[in-house]
Amino acid sequence: MITIDGRPIDRPLDAFANLEELLLDLTSGVALENRVVTDVLVDGEAFSEIYPHQAEDIETRDIKRVEIVSVSVQQMAADIAGELYKVVRLMSEGSKSVADLFRRADDAAALEMLQDLLDVTRDFLSMVGVLRNEFSMREHAEFESLTTEISALFSEMGDVMENEDWILLADLLEYEFNPATEKWKRVIASLREDIRVDAA
């Protein structure tokens, strides 16, 4: 038996040679259009590939039941947008911690943590950009200006790192980067509203 979000599908398991064939067929069909698969249960057990194409090695004759759980693209986007507030908080706290480490002359730990902070910030900006493009966020001047501000700050921080002026870098993190991250909360709120309107 195959179910999608609790509804039985009128397709027998033996119509497919293996689990990968089944999943590819169902995820490309109408039943999962504009939806994101969050869980696959095989005979009541959560399935997640340990290695690429592991599902291809699982023959359907060995399976009694496949359950697919999904959420709408809009719901997934809303959930992600909600999590972005936590990322802003992490960026804010991280910048303070890195600044503190530089001021205590713990340069090695500070540089390591700074790299993590920069990676998180890049991922954050990328995710906001993807959500913005996907859900047609209305023209938002603040998004553009904050993106420009962060980019300029990254460039300035790069120059300061080349000169190994760790105290100036600490000041940039605490007095410029940290306040800049806090401004993103307004952009996230606007983005969440756009996703909500798109879902309506």
Is 188 found in the same domain as 93? Answer: yes
Is 106 found in the same domain as 134? Answer: yes
Is 137 found in the same domain as 57? Answer: no
Q: Is residue 123 part of a domain?
A: yes
Q: Is residue 97 part of a domain?
A: yes
Q: How many angstroms separate the CA atoms of 2 and 192, rounded?
A: 34
> Could you tell me the residue range of the domain that residue 25 belongs to?
2-64
What is the pLDDT, as a whole number, of residue 139?
65
- DSSP state letter for 1: -
Is 55 found in the same domain as 102? Answer: no
Q: Is residue 142 part of a domain?
A: yes
Is 179 found in the same domain as 130? Answer: yes
Q: How many domains does the chain have?
A: 2
Region label for 5, one of left (φ > 0), alpha (ψ between -120 and 50) or beta (otherwise): left
**Of 39, 64, 89, which closes a domain?**
64
What is the pLDDT, as a whole number, of residue 109?
95
Q: How many angstroms separate the CA atoms of 48 and 3, rounded?
A: 17
Is 109 found in the same domain as 23? Answer: no
Is 166 found in the same domain as 137? Answer: yes
Q: Is residue 69 part of a domain?
A: no
Maximum average pLDDT range among 18-32, 61-75, 90-104: 90-104
Q: Is residue 70 part of a domain?
A: no
Residue burial 18-50, b: 16+ Cβ < 10 Å; e: rest: bbbebbeebbeeebbeebeeeebebeeeebeee
Is 99 found in the same domain as 53? Answer: no
Return the residue matching tokens 């993807």: 130
> Percentage of the chain surpassing pLDDT 70?
96
Is 102 found in the same domain as 190? Answer: yes
pLDDT in tens, 16-54: 999 999 999 888 888 788 888 889 999 999 998 899 989
